[in-house]
Structure 1
Amino acid sequence: MKRRRLLLIPLVALLLSGCKTSSSEGSVVTTTSSGGPIAPTSITISGPSSLAVDESALFSATVKPEGAPQSVTWATSDTTKATITDSGEVTGIGEGNVFIIATSTVNVDLSAQVSLAITPKVIVTPDPTEILINSVDDLTIVSVGGTLKLNATVLPVEASQEVLWSSSDTSKAEVDNTGLVSGIAVGPVDITATSAVKGTVKKVFSLEVVEDAVGQNWENMDYSLHSDFVSTATENGTPFKIRGVVTYAAPVSAEGTVEYFIQNGAEGYYIYKQDNNAFPVTVGESYTVGGYFKNYFGTRELVDVEYFVPHTPALTYNIVDVSDKNLLSLDDMATHQASFVEIKAGVISVLPTSYTKAYNVKIMVGDQEFTLRVDPTLMTVDEFAAINAKFQATAPGSAIDVVGVMCAFGYGKPANQLKIVRSTDFGAAVMTEQQAAQIAAATLEVLDCVPTTVTTLNLPTTLENYEGVTVEWASDSAIINASTGAVTHPDIMEDVTLTATVKKGAGQTTRTFLVTVFGTDESILEILHTFDLEDADSANGYGNSLTKPTYTHNDDMVTLGHPTQKQWYLRNTLIGGDKRDKRTGTYAMRTQTNAAQDNAGRIELQENDLEFNMIEFDCAIYGTNAKGTVLMFEVSTDDGATWIKIEREFTINNFELQKYRVRLDTSSNVRVALCVKAGTGNRINIDNLKLINEA
């Protein structure tokens, strides 16, 4: 069905004391009592703080004081990162930080800007379908008291690679969470790898525990070639004997293993989970190491170390400057894999929005955008905090010189990246105070809807990880106390505008938030229909209801709900019940964005025999999908022939279910649709959808 979308523009009555309005060529102009137009003095821009590549969002500008001409022209600071239309619709083009700028059409010297982070495209992880298991040298035996490393590959390779290992007989062999099998007693045993996200996908590997298994003659083996270590043709399980000086070692794990880098001249190697109790590692010392090769999605590593002895004489290493080389080429950077290298005169293009776990920093080196990787598992808590502090003190556009370990990683096709392991290995220019304020403001989040069970909002006056930044709050209603966050719920639901002024020294910026505060008088709300999926059919093997088990299924129509079932159209939406679906009962709707708006998730009522003017629903991000999915609402009063977009919309940033309510501003012959804005595959859950008549 082809739908024509219209923008619903409320008619606002202007009741201004001491002012009058006059019409010129069909437009309304507000003038002062002396006859002159009201001059604009400030502009406030509203819109999301982040946007994924290929996603779009609508920004709006409010010109003050009231009655001043509201027309503005829009621009972005970098059209390679984002573009904007005359109506304020922004589309993400490339990863990075960009400013959205609004300029008054009657006073070109008056403008405002807000920062916007353009994040990577959201890649939807497919479900696992198969698991492959291989062993070092394809061995199917392990000796009593010995170990054998099993490696599992989940297919397709883009699926989660996390597996759970188990042994059919722990009296004969045990297996740890990395796939390392330890022989205990002679006899056959089966080792099973089960997908951690889909328990029905598993693979069994049969082993024989024997008295003694043949190992490698490490002492007399020739040293392996570094060219073989970086080659894509080298098979997993190939024995490698290498030597070098330990350049960096991660903290020893709780299991007593250690990861480290070892380098001889410019040739580096990465050793993964060596037994530090059997083979203790010291940074700066030289060793000969014997282990087995593994290519883990582009990362070359040696595992299952069996031979580890000091090397004499002591060896040295050198750091190569790769600034003028093709950093994005896997072939060109292959010789530098696992080696410390240096990049000079880079420029930061993208900084993370969160520093609580592993993250990427993008830098421009010439015309190449390259990735720096910071992983807390490779360092101490204090080192991770020191690295974070240096990046938080800088801003996109700042110069950076950096030393790190060249690596490659990626499901499907790997990509080069530089691992930063020490805060002393890089230096970056410090951001301005204005930049700091704008970046900090972009991280603010406020509850969109406040149910009566919530009596206090979290309105932070400082921001974690943003030292020296302060936030001052203002409210346009006594319903929310801007100083304390205390909420006084009115009898009837009301919208309140909160304004956050974020400061860092002389830098300052503002953000506004529209908050819907629920009323205490529930007697005026009559629930006419509840769409909670509890009457849907039983689940399939994936936990999804057979009523609508996939995003596209039959004609996408379902008839569900109570007290009387209604027909709903579920486009790019399924009825899900897996462990990642946020729900209060057996099921919730799982709706998905799409690059084309006409294919994006839509939940649409097909009947119009109920007179309702409000909807209520619970909503949360599905699983660990990214924040920022925009949920919009449309109504139709002509049997679905045309649809009108409601101004209210929500940006879903919560990982637990929250309750939302929206007034529809109409109640006769009405149909409603909930639809996600076009995007790149993000998913959200919607549950307990209710059609309500507010008296």
Structure 2
Amino acid sequence: MKKKLFSILVLSTAMLMTACDTGTSGENSSSTVSTSSESTSSVAPVVGITVTSQGNLTSIEEGQTLQLSAVCTPSEASQNVTWSTSSSTVATVSSTGLVTAVGKGNVVISATSVDYPSIKGNFNLIVTEKQVEVVAPTSISLSAESTTVSAGESLTIQLSVTPENASKDVVWTSSNTDVATVSNGNVRTISEGTSVIRATSRVDDSVYGEISITVETAQAPDPTVDWSTVEYSTHEQYISAEDGTAIKVKGVVTHMTAVKDGSVNYFIQNGTSGYMVYGQNVTFYPVEVGKTYEVGGFKSYYYQGQHQIGDVELFKEIDEDIKVTEADVTSLDLASLDATTAYFGSRVSVEGVVLTEKDDISETKSYSIFAENNGTRFTIRVDKNYVDEDELSEIYAKLDAAPVGATLDIKGVMYAFGYGTPTPQIMLMSAADVTVGPISDSVFVASAAEVLTLPYTIDAETATYALPTTVEGYDGVNVSWTSNSTAVNVDSGAISHGTSDEIVKLTATISYNEASTTRSFYVNVMASNDDYLEAVHTLNFDDALPASQNNNSDTKPGYALGNVTLGSPVAKTWAMNWALITNSENDSYNGAFSARMSTRSEDDPAYIRLLDEVEADVLEFKIGCYNKDSLGQIVRVKYSIDGGDTYNYVEAEEDVVYEVAINSRTLETIRVSLPEGTNSVSIETYSSFQIRANVDDIVLYNVK
């Protein structure tokens, strides 16, 4: 009993409060604190609360305090209130209403009636940044470890001010930027000469400090190889050499980048053999386009596709009559790295290719356009690092005037670039190197047919679909349609949904003047509802492990062939080749992750393949291109009835493989019926060069 009485006494003591309108200071507490008056016999209800500040201030600086008072009305009502703050990172308030400013911002301090919690008064307070007194320096002195350096070297200038608490905020300048430049006290030397480095106070521009820097002619490092004993490399040796192999060549410099951080990249060619030199120090070895040089350095294969000669140790101008000859590569598969690597770094020409895409052309940026050669799509690149502003503008003007479908004759440098398997490309260096020819009607029609698209799937909610009768960007082209099913009425656009999905063959006849061609599309007209389907397995990648780096799930962070066990209601094992699980900002995905597939050839496709046996009648998945450069890749579905020992393509009709050209960056649904007895499936993507697609929400169904 004594323990209970003691507890009641302690609790009663803790609940005592002080008057809300006292003006004494107190300690800061949590965001909500209480204050009260002495006990009173008044029972009048509280109808309002007025909060005022000492001196009627509404703004204080960080670190300052301000006393607030709360008056409850009517006066005979209880004066008990609790204090609170809307943001304790801006200001806190004590049990007596003493506010302490914490950080810059706006805050609301509230006094709430204890007896009538719905009644409160607010006080709006502005907390401003604490004003720090800025002390102007009376003098500035500069120093460096050395004031005489070789061109190409860097040094750091030390700054001190008087008095010690004065501002060190200064503006750095160089009296001769051809000799040296300066930024935040860091000096980069360029060429022989003298430059005065000055630091001027931003507080008082009459106060400054100076230091004179002398730059001497740089001496190249001693070579690590006796280059007189090194034979000239053939182009084949240059391509096949391992990293670190000494490579010596001679030739005419055909193209070079602008100088950046004291170095350049350039191409040098002898006959039809061209080479890429990377990161040459122009302080030691200045280079000019059109001159002939002997160059010695070391092979480096950059993982994105560039065969480079770097760490140049031998560089001298030579007096030899070396010719540059462009190799005609029109007969090659220009999308094949194997076919084009023999010409890497070399000037090449190609004639009569058809311009198919030019959406990204620009007067100011690097970009790619696409053309077709011998039925194969390939890349033409304009790189602003190798092309000056005037030339970039002239190239843009010529390509802007060239209609899609035009024939082009192109000259440029054979190159390759890209993650994983690099994409071959011809680098266009000059407007004079592209000739735009006329468009034949047959080429125009064929090009229009290539860009014509239809949806992969017509969902159950779609009652009509208007088939396109024209092709955007191809004025005068007409399109007519035939259908092998009444599910799609090509005249009215009416869609008839049955009790199950149906693959409909829609054939377009594309015509222009006397030229015409046909193209067939296979479109899945979904059933009127999905009640006839029952999901037996779902793979949406949401149960994959989180990503440790590069937004790639730890379950499958790389493209190499590997197995994952995921999905519901029971996890199944899937093989993923040239595919990973990711959720980067460039990927399309629902939920936590999707798969990113990186297409390869039909001999080595990117695929997601079920290894465990699951009997299924229907496969559904969502797919979209990774970026604009990935449009047009092909997706096909394979099935197995023997648990994965053998696979065959799902057919749209007898002897016709069902395939879809992916033409959207957003995820769109593909659903296919599987042959009877299917117990394994494989989703595969193909392209003649490396491009990527996202796949998500894979579902296997059985027909009820």
Structure label with greater radius of gyration: 2
| Higher RCO structure, 1 or 2 (CA under 8 Å, sep 6+) | 1
